[in-house]
Amino acid sequence: MMNDPIVEIRNIKKSYQRGSYVIPVLQDINLDIKNGEFMALMGPSGSGKSTLLNLIAGIDKADSGTIRIEDTEITTMSETELALWRASHVGFIFQFYNLIPVLTAYENVELPLHVTSLPRRAWRTHVEMALRIVNLTHRADHYPNQLSGGEQQRVAIARALVTDPTILVADEPTGDLDRTSAEEILDLLERLNAESKMTIIMVTHDPRAAGKAHIISHLDKGILYNADTQAAP
Amino acid sequence: MLILKLLLRNAFRHKLRSFLTILGITIAILAFGLLRTVLTAWYSGIDASSASRLVTRNAISLAHPMPLSYKEKIRMIDGVKAVTPGWWFGGIYKDRKNFFPNFAYEPATFLEMCPEFLLTPVEKMAFIKDRKGCVVGRKTAARFGWKVGDTVTLDGTIFTGKWDFTIRGIYKGRDKNTDETQFFFQYDYLNEKMKKTVKPRADQVGFFFISVKDPDKATDVAIAVDKLFKNSYAETLTESEKLFALHFISMMEAIIVAIQIVSYIIIIIIMAVMANTMAMTTRERIGEYAVMKTMGFGGRHIATIIFGESFVISALGCILGIALTFPAASIFSRTVGSTFPEFIIQPKTIYLDIAAALIIAFISALFPTWQAINIRIADGLRRIQ
């Protein structure tokens, strides 16, 4: 199972239209990510890392090529189908946490469950479990502005985990944190991958963050270079 | 439940902005309600008019009198039940601001024709017997602290001089919309004084008030009356009491139309203010909506949150506006005195207030919702950065 690719990307091309100019962002990308892998995507700004992450997560559409996640081709899905698919298959972690400021930590974690088929009676267990994983049960009733940056990112991780997604995608998850908090977040992601065999795809600039991943892929000017394997997952 | 919580908390996220918007809607609904009540009050006399009564006046205008001799001729027309001569007296009690409508009629005939003015048999008899007697509506009596037996002096404007009356009865309205501000006295008192003082004005009549036996034949009677006086030196125009009242109101049509336009402009202005508020809040939260869309929330959820917030703000403004309309109407009614026979906030006005608030909420949320639903997730997320 571990060696089966959970993400299969074939011949993906993506460009953006800026006025009369067409700017190519991704060129003929091919990539396999195995189940349970922790992969880091590195590259300079504008290299197409976040675009590739968005395509894998189903929040953007490629110009051509196919993306299969767990044998489901997402490139042919409609917006509505993609939204439903994202709700149960993808967990997102953002650089700026993106918590809803008027909801408590508990409510922020509960929010994604509203668009899943999970019965309401099971919600509490899921939310409490997710908060326990990130070690924030004691901060459940706090609002985001009452939490530190590191704690907010942990709430965001709990929110990403609560639906028990197939893949976890993280876009610069430590980009807005101090060194200690960043280390905590990376340890948490590493633990999730090791203990829960969660497939994680992380975009980062930070070599220390990338050092936690098993595989590091490099993108430059829209071209994906060979993945460096750091350790067997 | 969480979505409901989210939209409620969003509504008060910027407390000052929400407070000012709610205040704006409150004032708009209050103003709208008051203006609509003014319009309703203007037409209330028409609703109170009877289908079995006609008014005959000089065809030239109300200012031109007719001879009293027409009375017997009208009475002889088939279908006429009773007829009384009438004059708009235009008397003033102490000061012009103390306005109330006052008329001269034949008392017995008039009271028989107008059963909506309720008097006790004793009061009725006292009024009929006393040449200088008068009957006054409950509201006007209460306004000036008058009671039966009091002497009231009016300054004549159309019929100059001081006119003394003794209050012989205080009537109550039979129906909710019966005008309880009027003042009636005997036509003979006026006519006899005219005979002594201004002889050419004696035996003249401002209008005839006619009751018909069959309301379905009121039009035939009206035609017969006007036909009878065709080619006379004072040709007549006979119309239903309702139409007669409408003619009065049509004299002020420009004011009425202006009030109507202003009432709608107020709603349009507050709609623009509310739309601006909703556009600002949505622009600020576009990143949050993008995050929610990332999680799988669809357009339906986003629309619920934005429309919900808009409806909460609008509903609060509407409730406060309606609640304040009642005391404001009461103050307004006291200030304008008996200009309007009744100044009551009708259920229809409340429904219009609610409809206006709903329209404000709906229109204001329309564009921001469209914007939030249609923004690309990646673009929305970029706004946060």
Kindly report the nearest CA distance between residue A230 and chain B, in angstroms: 31
Q: Which of B318, B361, B304, B378 is nearest to A58 (CA)?
A: B378
Does B319 have pLDDT greater than 90? yes
Q: List CB contacts (< 8 A) between B13 and chain A.
A: 101-102
Q: List CB contacts (< 8 A) between B297 and chain A.
A: 83, 114-115
Q: Which of B34, B29, B42, B39 is nearest to B355 (CA)?
A: B29
The DSSP 8-state label assigned to residue B320 in this structure reads H
Count CB pairs under 8 A between chains A and B.
70
Q: Do B377 and A59 touch (CB under 8 A)?
A: yes
- With respect to residue B246, please indicate whether it lies within any of the assigned structural domains: no
**pTM for the model:** 0.74
- With respect to residue A12, please indicate whether it lies within any of the assigned structural domains: no
Q: How far apart are CA B206 and CA A77, in angstroms?
A: 83
Q: Do B295 and A57 touch (CB under 8 A)?
A: no
Structure tokens at B349: 């006005």
- With respect to residue A29, please indicate whether it lies within any of the assigned structural domains: no
B293 Cβ contact list (under 8 Å, min separation 6):
A59, A83, B302, B377, B380
- With respect to residue A19, please indicate whether it lies within any of the assigned structural domains: no
Which residue on chain B is closest to A159 by alpha carbon? B295
Q: Which of B300, B353, B280 is nearest to B3 (CA)?
A: B300
Owner of token pair 């595989």: A215
Q: What is the CA radius of gyration of chain B?
A: 30
- With respect to residue B55, please indicate whether it lies within any of the assigned structural domains: no
Q: What is the CA radius of gyration of chain A?
A: 17
Kindly report the nearest CA distance between residue B179 and chain A, in angstroms: 55
pLDDT tens digits, one per residue of B28-61: 999 999 999 888 887 776 776 777 899 999 999 8
Residues B39 and B162 in one domain: no
- Classify each residue of B222-232 as buried b or exposed e, where b means 16 or more C-beta atoms within 10 Å of its C-beta: bebbbebbeee
Residues B120 and B212 in one domain: yes
Measured in Å, how far apart are chain B's first and last C-alpha atoms? 30
Which among B3, B287, B293 has the least Cβ separation from residue A83?
A: B293
Which among A80, A88, A114 has the least Cβ separation from residue B2?
A: A114
The pLDDT value recorded for residue B382 is: 79
Q: Which of A210, A216, A213, A116 is nearest to A160 (CA)?
A: A116
Q: Do B297 and A83 touch (CB under 8 A)?
A: yes
CATH number at residue A131: 3.40.50.300
pLDDT tens digits, one per residue of B293-314: 999 998 899 999 999 999 999 9
State which residues form the domain around B191: 60-234
Q: Do A83 and B298 touch (CB under 8 A)?
A: yes
Residues B106 and B158 in one domain: yes
Q: Do B9 and A59 touch (CB under 8 A)?
A: no
Which residue on chain B is closest to A171 by alpha carbon? B381
Residues B220 and B268 in one domain: no
The pairing of strands B53-58 and B236-240 is antiparallel
The pLDDT value recorded for residue A221 is: 86
Whether the Cβ atoms of residue A81 and residue B298 lie closer than 8 Å to each other: no
Of all helices (H) and strands (E), which one includes residue B166? strand B161-173
Q: List CB contacts (< 8 A) between A96 and chain B.
A: 384-385
Whether the Cβ atoms of residue B337 and residue B245 lie closer than 8 Å to each other: no
Kindly report the nearest CA distance between residue B22 and chain A, in angstroms: 20
Task: State the amino acid at position A179 in one-letter form.
Answer: R
Q: How far apart are CA A165 and CA B192, in angstroms?
A: 101
Residues B139 and B259 in one domain: no
Q: Do A103 and B297 touch (CB under 8 A)?
A: no
Q: How far apart are CA B195 and CA A51, in angstroms?
A: 102
The pLDDT value recorded for residue B337 is: 62
Which among A98, A107, A114 has the least Cβ separation from residue B384?
A: A98
Residues B185 and B75 in one domain: yes
Q: How far apart are CA B18 and CA B314, in angstroms?
A: 10
- With respect to residue A99, please indicate whether it lies within any of the assigned structural domains: yes
User: Which domain-ending residue is among B234, B262, B292?
Assistant: B234
* Length of chain A (residues): 233
Helix axes B299-336, B2-11, angle to 10 degrees: 50
Spell out which chain A residues touch chain B, with contact meaning CB-CB distance below 8 angstroms. Answer: 50-51, 54, 57, 59-60, 80, 83-88, 92, 94-96, 98, 100-103, 107, 110-112, 114-116
Q: Do B378 and A57 touch (CB under 8 A)?
A: no
Q: List CB contacts (< 8 A) between B5 and chain A.
A: 103, 107
User: Which domain-ending residue is among B205, B234, B263?
Assistant: B234
Torsion, Cα of A20, A25, A30, A31 (10° steps): -150
pLDDT tens digits, one per residue of B205-220: 999 999 999 988 999 9
**Who wins on pLDDT, B333 or B364?**
B364
A27 Cβ contact list (under 8 Å, min separation 6):
A13, A222, A223
Does B339 have pLDDT greater than 70? no
User: Which domain-ending residue is among B185, B201, B234?
Assistant: B234
Residues B78 and B225 in one domain: yes
Does B180 have pLDDT greater than 90? no
The pLDDT value recorded for residue A3 is: 64
Tell me the mean pLDDT in the region B57-85: 93
Residues B257 and B169 in one domain: no
Which residue on chain B is closest to A53 by alpha carbon? B378
Q: How many CA atoms lie within 13 A of B315 on its CB side?
A: 8
Residues B258 and B338 in one domain: yes
The pLDDT value recorded for residue A233 is: 40
- Where does the pLDDT of residue B385 fall: very low under 50, low under 70, confident under 90, or very high at 90 and above? low
User: What is the share, in percent, of chain B residues with pLDDT greater than 70?
Assistant: 97
Residues B65 and B214 in one domain: yes
CA B369 to chain centre: 39
Does B162 have pLDDT greater than 60? yes
Domain count, chain B: 2
- With respect to residue A143, please indicate whether it lies within any of the assigned structural domains: yes
- With respect to residue A188, please indicate whether it lies within any of the assigned structural domains: yes
What sign does the dihedral B260-B320-B280-A57 (CA atoms) show? negative
- With respect to residue A24, please indicate whether it lies within any of the assigned structural domains: no
The pLDDT value recorded for residue A229 is: 58
A164 Cβ contact list (under 8 Å, min separation 6):
A126
pLDDT tens digits, one per residue of A169-187: 999 888 888 888 888 889 8
Q: How far apart are CA A146 and CA A143, in angstroms?
A: 5
Kindly report the nearest CA distance between residue A68 and chain B, in angstroms: 18
Which residue on chain B is closest to A102 by alpha carbon? B9
Q: Do B377 and A98 touch (CB under 8 A)?
A: no
Residues B220 and B291 in one domain: no
Does B64 have pLDDT greater than 80? yes
Q: How far apart are CA B235 and CA B302, in angstroms?
A: 71
Kindly report the nearest CA distance between residue B320 and chain A, in angstroms: 26
pLDDT tens digits, one per residue of B231-286: 999 999 999 988 887 777 777 778 888 988 999 999 999 999 999 999 999 999 99
- Mean of the per-residue pLDDT values of chain B: 90
- With respect to residue A17, please indicate whether it lies within any of the assigned structural domains: no
Residues B131 and B212 in one domain: yes
Mean pLDDT in order along chain A per 10 residues (233 residues) = 78 88 89 91 89 92 92 89 91 90 95 91 93 92 93 93 92 86 89 89 90 89 73 43
What sign does the dihedral B51-B57-B62-B65 (CA atoms) show? negative
How many other CB atoms sit within 10 Å of the CB of residue B333? Answer: 17
Q: Do A100 and B301 touch (CB under 8 A)?
A: no
Domain count, chain A: 1
Q: How far apart are CA B111 and CA B123, in angstroms?
A: 11
Q: What is the DSSP string of A75-96?
A: TT--HHHHHHHHHHHEEEE-TT
Q: Do B295 and A87 touch (CB under 8 A)?
A: yes
The pLDDT value recorded for residue A232 is: 41
- Where does the pLDDT of residue B384 fall: very low under 50, low under 70, confident under 90, or very high at 90 and above? low
The pLDDT value recorded for residue B318 is: 95
Q: How far apart are CA A78 and CA A115, in angstroms?
A: 17
Does B335 have pLDDT greater than 80? no
User: What is the share, in percent, of chain B residues with pLDDT greater than 90?
Assistant: 66
The pLDDT value recorded for residue B311 is: 95
Q: List CB contacts (< 8 A) between B287 and chain A.
A: 98
